[in-house]
């Protein structure tokens, strides 16, 4: 099976012909490798319903992934995002009582959960949008500089942007984990409060930068 | 302006902060999205579950970085089931890759 980056997965699944077919086949393998772990609490591979459920969930997952490809934000591995969708579909099926045996937890009737809403992206990326983006970045940058101390900025960069382990971030900032957590919490609170005061919603700003 | 803002303004004039790159500015906004308010809905949690699970599988500190998700998982049985199942998938498939 080909190893792909997130970008390669998206590109190959949007391609035509052999490239797309290969990507779908590889994705099927990925999903089917994960499902035994997802179902392990309720079904084992030697149970008769297992194979049929895995096939049904795999098909539904592939369809939903193709349908929602545009909502993948790239904040995790593409395969993790796909496994998430497969887990939601698998557990929703199990909750419909068709697959569980009588010794398991109390069942809940559940409608097939709607897919998560996609980010609405402006399809126009012309000069007007570029100017709007530049203006918004400038405003947010100014707010960050005015609201946060150096240490708060550093904490947000290390933990919120670079995603390094909190123990390592605490060492870099010569502090301890609890104090760093408070620093991060205060930084987020200050930034969120000031952005709200200036009527700037983080998710709307991020939507301006969605890839077309 | 309150006293804190005055002091911060004076600090910035004496020692201007290093200009943040565009990517860093956007990264700050994404970090805020991870802690968006007092609580989150199941749909909002589902949207971020892959990020949360990867962080937990890799660095074991997802609850500190995304506390609202942890709080929701503590009170919502269905979301918690999905979280545990996804974590099991990620850890199980990673282990399979390393053992071949």
- The DSSP result for B32-82, as a single string, is HHTT-SS---HHHHHHHHHHHHHHHHHHS-HHHHSHHHHHHHHH-HHHHHH
Residues on chain B touching A141 (C-beta within 8 angstroms):
19-20, 25
For chain A, the average pLDDT equals 81
Fold of A6-95: Rna Polymerase Sigma Factor; Chain: A (1.10.1740)
Q: How many C-beta neighbours within 10 Å does residue A44 have?
A: 10
Cα distance between the two ends of chain A: 29
Burial classification of residue A174, based on how many CB atoms lie within 10 Å of its CB (0-12 exposed, 13-18 middle, 19 or more buried) = exposed
Lowest-pLDDT range of A171-180, B49-58, B63-72: A171-180
Domain range list for chain A: 6-95, 127-208
Q: Element (H or E) spanning B93, and its range?
A: helix B77-99
B1 in reach of chain A (CB within 8 A): no
Taking the CA of residue B83 and the nearest CA in chain A, the distance in Å comes to 9
Comparing CB atoms, the residue among A83, A147, A195 nearest residue B89 is A83
- What is the pLDDT, as a whole number, of residue A211? 63
Taking the Cβ of residue B71 and every Cβ of chain A, the question of whether any pair is shorter than 8 Å is answered with no
Q: Comparing A3-7, A81-85, A131-135, which segment has the lowest mean pLDDT?
A: A131-135
Label residue A121 by pLDDT band (50, 70, 90).
Answer: very low
Residues in chain A closer than 8 A to B34 (CB atoms) = 160
A41, A116, A137: residue with CB nearest B47: A116
Q: Is the pLDDT of residue A98 over 70?
A: no
Handedness of CA A26, A28, A33, A37 (dihedral sign): positive
Residue matched to tokens 């911060």:
B8
- pLDDT reported for residue A97: 58
The reported pLDDT for the residue numbered A34 is: 96
> Tokens standing for A203?
């998710």
**Per residue in A77-89, pLDDT tens?**
999 999 999 999 9
In chain B, the N- to C-terminal Cα span, in Å, equals 61
Per-residue confidence (pLDDT) for residue B1, from 0 to 100? 65
Instruction: Give the pLDDT confidence of B56-95 residue by residue, as tens digits.
Output: 998 888 888 888 898 888 878 888 999 999 999 999 999 8
| Averaged pLDDT for residues A87-96 | 89
Q: What is the ipTM of this complex?
A: 0.71
Candidate from B12, B26, B43 with C-beta closest to A206: B26
Q: Which listed CATH number (2.40.160.60, 1.10.10.10, 1.10.3720.10, 2.40.50.100) goes with A127-208?
A: 1.10.10.10
Q: Do A206 and B88 touch (CB under 8 A)?
A: no
Entry pTM: 0.63
In this predicted structure, the answer to whether residue B17 has a pLDDT above a threshold of 90 is no
């Amino acid at each position: 099976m080909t190893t792909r980056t997130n970008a390669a997965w998206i590109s190959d699944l949007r391609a035509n012909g052999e490239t797309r077919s290969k990507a779908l086949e590889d994705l099927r393998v990925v999903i089917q490798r994960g499902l035994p772990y997802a179902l392990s609490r309720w079904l084992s591979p030697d149970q008769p319903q297992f194979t049929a459920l895995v096939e049904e969930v795999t098909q539904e997952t592939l369809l939903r992934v193709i349908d929602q490809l545009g909502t993948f934000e790239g904040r995790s591995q593409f395969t993790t995002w796909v496994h998430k969708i497969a887990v939601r579909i698998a557990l929703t099926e199990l909750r419909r009582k068709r697959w569980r045996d009588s010794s398991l937890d109390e069942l809940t009737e559940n409608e097939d959960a709607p897919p998560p809403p996609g980010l609405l992206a402006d399809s126009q990326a012309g000069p007007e949008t570029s100017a709007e983006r530049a203006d918004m970045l400038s405003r947010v940058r100014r707010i960050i500089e005015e609201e946060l101390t150096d240490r708060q900025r550093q904490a947000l960069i290390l933990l919120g942007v670079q995603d390094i382990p909190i123990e390592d971030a605490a060492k870099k900032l010569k502090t301890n984990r609890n104090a760093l957590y408070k620093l991060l919490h205060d930084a987020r609170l200050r930034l969120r409060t000031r952005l709200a005061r200036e009527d700037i919603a983080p998710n709307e700003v991020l939507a301006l930068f969605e890839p077309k | 302006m309150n006293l804190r803002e005055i002091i911060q303004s004076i600090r910035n004039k004496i020692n201007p902060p290093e200009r943040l790159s565009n990517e860093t500015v956007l990264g700050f906004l994404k970090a805020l999205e991870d802690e968006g308010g007092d609580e989150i809905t199941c749909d909002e949690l589902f949207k971020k579950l892959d990020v949360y699970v990867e962080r937990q599988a890799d660095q074991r500190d997802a609850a500190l970085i995304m506390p609202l998700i942890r709080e929701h998982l503590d009170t919502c049985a269905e979301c918690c089931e999905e979280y545990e199942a996804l974590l099991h998938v990620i850890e199980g498939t990673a282990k399979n890759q390393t053992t071949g």
